[in-house]
Amino acid sequence: MYNQGLFYSWVPKSVMLLLIVVIALIFFGISAIYTPNITYLVGSTGAMSEYYLWANYASVVGMGTVMPLIVRIKARFRTKEILVGSLTGIALLFVVMGTTHQPQVIIGASFLIGVFKMLGMMEVVLPLMFILTKDGNRGRFYSIFYTAVLVVTQMAGYYITKISYYANWQFGYLVYASICLVGAMICIVFQHNQRFMRKVPLYYIDWLSVLLYISSFMILGYILAFGKQQNWFESTQIKYAVLTFVLFVFSFFLRQKLLTRPFLSLKAFSKNNVRHGIVMLLFLGMYLATTNMQNTFAMGVLGYNALTNASLNMMMIPGLLVGAIVSYQWFNRLIPIRMLMFTGFAAFMMYTIMMYFFMVPELNYNLWLLPQFFKGMGMSILFIVIWYYTLDKLDIPSLLSLIGFVLLWRTFISLGIFSALFTWLQYKLQLQSLSNLAVYLDDVWLIQSGGTISFSTVQINAILGANKIIFGFITILGIGILLYALFHHYGRTKDVLTRIRMSKIGQLWISSKDKEKIDEQLEG
């Protein structure tokens, strides 16, 4: 009765592969909130953009919540039930989002879309992993998988913005809902009804831990989304939200320590590569958060509409493909990942340097090609290599529980922290720039100018000055990140100690006690 494939035996092998790719592409393109499309949601519903930013975070929380439970869910339900239920549920939620003007409803639907997306995507990712990398080379698989996800995400965001531009944003969600229903029909017709493994009921799940996990990160999403609008700690709501978040997180981690079968295993965090991987993902979040400043510059200064701004993301696709080819060949030849990591951060640094010099109000549209190429290349390489390094040499239980948290950390927490920081800095630096310019706005100067001064020009210069300062600081910080990426050991500490111990200089200068310590570390 058990069948680890997806389709009936009468389906030809080539058709099976085609169907897996089609279903995978549908899941890759699904997103609760398409950030280039937020302008239309705000303009139509009249709600603040912070609600939709929170909804975007909520979908990531939903995806991260599913991962520790994925094995138990696969053991309880048939693969066909999971895929059909996920695609149908996402389609219904898209219909709900396309027919409501209440941002709270969109936030709740976004969370459920994240849950269904991760449930269904894991069903097609596992077969693709065995098809693409039969020898178990995870690096080659990530090179193909993450590039496909990133490319399809950019294309999906562009086309739903295009639909919203020529029709309306509601119609875009209904179109994507129909695509999900087509995917569900494919699964109904071609998928078998057998189980992946022996049926096991949903037991040993600590639902209180799940509730604390969801509540903690949803509150954090509220803090990061509404912090600037509420003036941060001047707001009573933000203060109470921070206090509640701290209490929930403390309760969650304390409960994981006490449980025999915890929802989130904390053993993985003792691994050196996991801790350094989390730091590297924090740096990646800093670079990804520059998208907000890019959008402010493109729409607020250059005057691009939402569709033109979304087309800038399409310019990243050549960089994404080049990064994928480089990473694939790197892992195929089993080259150490040090210089690959360095190349990814260096590509992002090139992007920030170019954006620093491109902060002018007359920037030509075609000049975006090169910085977006470097941005796409850096994003592709770092998504692949950091994920590979962070999850390296972990057992299956630790791996499954950690993936959800690392996904949240990469896509939500680190990105949200730096997005909030950069937004606050933009506001403060613009005020400082306007204060500096106000010194010269006296009556004599206004009379000499004939009263023709454009205060919008003054504001544009303030935005450009603020963005320039932030990009400058990011570039300076990028030098330190490059040094960190270059000199980090990447789990090769024992090799370094062995070289020191066996070298002639080591034999001459290392004392006998130090030799004993090194030998103990080598044995450990």
The one-character DSSP state at 291 is H
CA distances from 87 to 123, 128, 270, 306 (A): 12, 18, 37, 28
Instruction: Report the amino acid identity of residue 169.
Output: W
pLDDT in tens, the chain (524 residues): 556 678 888 888 888 888 888 998 999 988 888 888 888 888 888 888 888 889 999 999 998 888 888 878 887 888 888 899 999 999 999 999 888 888 899 999 999 999 999 888 888 888 888 887 777 778 888 888 888 889 999 999 899 889 888 888 888 889 999 999 999 999 888 888 887 777 777 777 788 888 999 999 999 999 988 888 888 888 888 999 999 999 999 998 888 888 877 888 777 788 888 888 899 999 999 999 898 888 888 888 888 888 888 889 899 999 999 999 999 888 888 888 888 899 999 999 999 999 999 888 888 888 899 999 999 999 999 999 998 888 887 777 777 778 888 888 888 888 888 988 888 888 888 888 777 776 666 555 555 555 555 567 777 888 888 889 999 999 999 999 999 988 888 766 444 444 444 444 444 444 554 555 555 554 44
The one-character DSSP state at 2 is B
Q: Which pTM was predicted?
A: 0.84
Distance CA 164, CA 155 (A): 14
Q: Where are the alpha helices (DSSP H) in 133-226?
A: 138-166, 169-190, 207-226
Q: Maximum CA pair distance of the chain?
A: 89
262 is written with which tokens? 């915890």
13 is written with which tokens? 């092998």
Distance CA 116, CA 65 (A): 11
Of the candidates 61, 48, 99, 33, which has an alpha carbon nearest to the alpha carbon of residue 405? 61
The one-character DSSP state at 302 is S
Cβ neighbour number for residue 285 with a 10 Å cutoff: 20
Of the candidates 281, 387, 372, 392, which has an alpha carbon nearest to the alpha carbon of residue 321? 372
Instruction: Report the amino acid identity of residue 338.
Output: R
- End-to-end CA separation in angstroms for the chain: 45
211: Cβ contacts below 8 Å, ≥ 6 apart = none
Task: Decide: 245 and 378 in contact? Cβ < 8 Å.
Answer: no
Cβ neighbour number for residue 108 with a 10 Å cutoff: 16
Distance CA 520, CA 516 (A): 6
Q: Any idea which residue has 């879309």 for tokens?
A: 113
DSSP letters for 445-471 = HHHHTTT---HHHHHHHHHHHHHHHHH
